Chains A and B, each alone.
Chain A
Amino acid sequence: MSDQQLTCEELVEIVTEYLEGGLSDAERERFEEHVVVCSGCANYLDQIRMTIELAGRVTIDDLMEETKIELLAAFRDWRRE
């Protein structure tokens, strides 16, 4: 089963696969077993989750207002055709 234990150095490289649901059942269990016993990796997993959550609060660059107005005008013209 999970005889070969994961190291912390290995865990930090598969954390994305874990969160993306990309690990096999056995790999997933190995990952979780490690996190249960290792507070450093439990913190690391939390940190990655927090990183994702903070990224979700970032606002990104948008089109300029003029461009949006031009696009709406083009849409109107198209409708009239």
Chain B
Amino acid sequence: MIAWKFLAPGAIGPFSRVTWPTPTEGVPGLWLEAQVHPCASGVHACEASDLPFWLHAELWEVELEGPVVRTGRKVVAPRGRLVRRIDAWDRGAMHDFCGDCKTRVEEYAVQSDEAAAYVADLADDVEDCHAAAAGDDASRAAEAASGSVLRNAERIAQSRFLVARLGLDGGD
């Protein structure tokens, strides 16, 4: 299956510290094998709906092979390889993502003082261009405004923004 993966600069797994083999001239990178263990090891990636939880410097399309297990906010497979980098995920896109979150938080702020407190946090996130923090702060603001339903809706809005802005096909 096709899924998405955020990596640290240099195609490095942010947690595993593994350097992923990158594609060259349209040919996918080498397969990365991992022994699938329900607990920890295995190739991790995510579906479009979970993108906002894993935002990092580089976004890649990955191909997963073998029995793919969905667990929590990720999918785990025994094998995976990088197919292409999503070049549209650049500083401009990060900045726009932060701005989009900020716009919604300003709406939540009208509903509740608690949510209003997050407007300043979002302003910082926009300035730092820290997309992951913006997504998290916006979900906290949504929850402060009206509970977990709005928080989930906020994450869905974030994922929709990313899919549209980055031209990722396949919502799930």
Residues of A within 8 A of B (CB): 1-3, 21, 24-26, 28-29, 32-33, 35-39
Contact = CB atoms under 8 A, between A and B. Distances in A.
Contact of A36 (B38, B39, B132, B148): B132
Given A1-B72, A33-B73, A36-B53, A25 B39 contact: yes
Given A25-B38, A35-B15, A36-B54, 17 more contacts: A1-B73, A25-B39, A25-B71, A28-B40, A29-B71, A29-B73, A32-B15, A33-B53, A33-B54, A33-B73, A35-B14, A36-B14, A36-B53, A37-B132, A37-B133, A38-B133, A39-B133
Interface string B33-70: 00000111000000000000111100000000000000
Nearest to B54: A36
Interface of B: 14-15, 38-40, 53-56, 71-74, 130, 132-133, 135-136, 148
B132 A2 contact: no
A36 B132 CA distance: 6
B39 A21 contact: yes
The interface centre, meaning the residue of A2, A24, A25, A35 with most chain B CB atoms within 10 A of its CB, is: A25
Contacts of A1: 72-73
Contacts of B15: 32, 35
Contacts of B130: 39
Contacts of A38: 133
Q: Which 5 A-B pairs have the closest CB atoms?
A: A37-B136, A29-B72, A37-B132, A36-B132, A37-B133
B110 to A, nearest CB: 24
B135 A26 contact: no
A45 B136 CA distance: 19
Contacts of B39: 21, 24-25, 28
A18 to B, nearest CB: 9
A33 B136 CA distance: 9
